[in-house]
Amino acid sequence: MTSPIPSYRMNDGLDIPAFGLGMWNLQEGREAETAVRHALDAGYRLFDTAALYGNERSLGRAVRDSSIPRGEVFVTTKVWNSDHGYEQALRAFDESLRRLDLDYVDLYLIHWPVESERLDTWRALESIREAGRCRSIGVSNYMVRHLEELLDHSEVLPAVNQIELHPWNYASRKATVDLCRRKGILVEAYSPLTKGRMLRDRQLDEIATAHEKTPAQVLLRWGIQHGFVEIPKSSRSERIRENVAIFDFELSGDDMDTLDSLDRALATSWDPTGTP
């Protein structure tokens, strides 16, 4: 690795690496464990999994087997939609921690703002944090209305809101990003490479060529310059190394403006804007 990965300070006073490995679609077992090992070797310290991804065991094993102290690794996992509600979310956390086989989780997120029980689920996350079993708590796929409801009904602010973010949806998600900024909630960008769909975009390619970087590196750098946590997924060691090599160049104001203007409300997985 050429340059170290910086950290952000969250609203609970704890630090989170600005960059890490997304783990959706990494198969439990050899594929996931090897990807985590390659990422640790390349300097990654943040790993983003979820009960839904089915690879918490592999992440925990790779972290335990590595020579890097646990305190230097940042593990995120998430409570899935079928486990909303106070008691159910407490149980889901116990199961995630058991699968990870770690002493604690760094960041526990509500994966999706399921309509009826999300406030009870949040209270479960508050208790888990209070008990010291996870360090920070946050949400994912929360748009303005979900955040406003949570802010109106809870004591503890989410430390993080993890949402899909890249130049092809930035303008349409800007109200959510701005609300997070005003409240001091850190924005974590998922599917930052658009799952690979937009990597051949002409304007993106021109910027990449000018900086002698790849389109993927430009997208990740764009997110870092906006102050987002970036969590690209790759199963391939060369791409895992490529994706983190973004701390040695800077996009200009014009580059950022061009990328900011590409919006077309692209959602590569679910679109939470329609969730009441």
Ligand X SMILES: NC(=O)c1ccc[n+]([C@@H]2O[C@H](COP(=O)([O-])OP(=O)(O)OC[C@H]3O[C@@H](n4cnc5c(N)ncnc54)[C@H](OP(=O)(O)O)[C@@H]3O)[C@@H](O)[C@H]2O)c1
The residues that are catalytic are 53
Beta strand segments in 165-265, E: 186-190, 229-230
Measured in degrees and rounded to the nearest 5, phi and psi for residue 101 equal 55, 50
Taking CB under 6 A as the criterion, the residue among 140, 161, 169, 176 binding ligand X is: 140
- CA 62, 67, 69, 73 dihedral sign is negative
**Taking Cα atoms as reference points, which of 238, 244, 267 lies closest to residue 21?**
244
58 counts as binding ligand X under rule CB under 6 A:
no
Closer of 96 and 140 to ligand X (Cβ)? 140
83 counts as binding ligand X under rule CB under 6 A:
no
3-class secondary structure, 180: helix
124 counts as binding ligand X under rule CB under 6 A:
no
96 counts as binding ligand X under rule CB under 6 A:
no
| Contact characters 34-53, ligand X, x per CB under 6 A | --------------x-----
17 counts as binding ligand X under rule CB under 6 A:
no
CA dist 111 and 10 (Å) reads 19
Closer of 85 and 215 to ligand X (Cβ)? 215
| C-alpha atoms less than 13 angstroms from C-alpha of 22 in its C-beta half-sphere | 22
204 counts as binding ligand X under rule CB under 6 A:
no
Taking CB under 6 A as the criterion, the residue among 194, 198, 213, 266 binding ligand X is: 194
- For residue 47, the cross-strand partners are 21, 75
Taking CB under 6 A as the criterion, the residue among 148, 236, 249, 252 binding ligand X is: 236
